[in-house]
Amino acid sequence: MKNEMPQLPYPSNGLEPVISAETIEYHYGKHLQTYVTNLTNLVKSTEYEQKDIEHIVKDAPEGGIYNNAGQVLNHTLYFLQFTTPGQGKQPEGKLNELILRDFGSLDELKKQMEEAAVTLFGSGWAWLSLTPEGKLQITKEGNANNPLRQGNKPLLCIDVWEHAYYIDYRNRRAEHVKNLWNIIDWQTIGKRL
Ligand code: MN
């Protein structure tokens, strides 16, 4: 992945009422744009200037380059995993098999993701990822962290930085997280697997 703004597969009001156009305009249009711009400036004339985002997230030491690359990767995966409410279908094929094997049901996966997202203290992300051993895993990651750092394949994420939900839900993080299931595009998650 290059350091650039992803093209959204929906208009800015396409996720309403789950995520408003105003939140997309700030979260995608301003927050993500700032991470992309910061990273462009920070990597100039460093060993990371020509590296792809995944490489930086795996290898960069803690600090500005790592934080901004993490947020570019996290937000790109975040915004590209959504679709119009009700159009996201259900997990199919291999993804569905792994969900049933590792969680017993999709409802149980959702419950555990919601719990991770709601109980994460401070700013960060709840992640569903695939371990190198081929097991689905839910983790809580602070700040800009991505399970790629530990060698996992990131599949699905919930941003619980307050900027992700405060315009639409104020302090009601749990309600926001629950509503996100209506816009998850399970075909996209299946392709990432
Ligand atoms: Mn965010």
pLDDT tens digit sequence for 154-180: 999 999 999 999 999 999 999 999 999
Q: What is the mean pLDDT of the chain?
A: 98
The CATH 1.10.287.990 domain(s) of the chain lie at 21-80
Distance from Cα 116 to the centre of ligand 1, integer Å:
16
For the domain bounded by 21-80, which CATH number is listed?
1.10.287.990
Distance from Cα 27 to the centre of ligand 1, integer Å:
6
Distance from Cα 104 to the centre of ligand 1, integer Å:
30
Distance from Cα 37 to the centre of ligand 1, integer Å:
15
Distance from Cα 23 to the centre of ligand 1, integer Å:
10
Residue 68 and residue 42 in contact, taking contact as beta carbons nearer than 8 Å: yes
| The CATH number fitting domain 93-192, selected from 3.55.40.20, 3.90.660.10, 2.40.160.10, 3.40.50.20 | 3.55.40.20
Tokens 């709601």 belong to: 118
Distance from Cα 131 to the centre of ligand 1, integer Å:
24
The CATH 3.55.40.20 domain(s) of the chain lie at 93-192
> Quick count: other Cβ atoms within 10 Å of Cβ 104?
10
Q: Please report the sign of the dihedral spanned by the C-alpha atoms of residue 103, residue 108, residue 110, residue 112.
A: negative
> Quick count: other Cβ atoms within 10 Å of Cβ 4?
11
Q: pLDDT per position in the chain (193 positions), as tens?
A: 999 999 999 999 999 999 999 999 999 999 999 999 999 999 999 999 999 999 999 999 999 999 999 999 999 999 999 999 999 999 999 999 999 999 999 999 999 999 999 999 999 999 999 999 999 999 999 999 999 999 999 999 999 999 999 999 999 999 999 999 999 999 999 999 9
- Within 8 A by CB and 6+ apart from 3, the residues are 36, 39, 40, 43, 53, 69, 72
Distance from Cα 154 to the centre of ligand 1, integer Å:
16
What pTM did the predictor assign? 0.97
Distance from Cα 103 to the centre of ligand 1, integer Å:
27
SS (HEC) of 117-167: HHHCCCCEEEEEEECCCCCEEEEEEECCCCHHHHCCEEEEEEECCHHHCHH
pLDDT of residue 5: 98
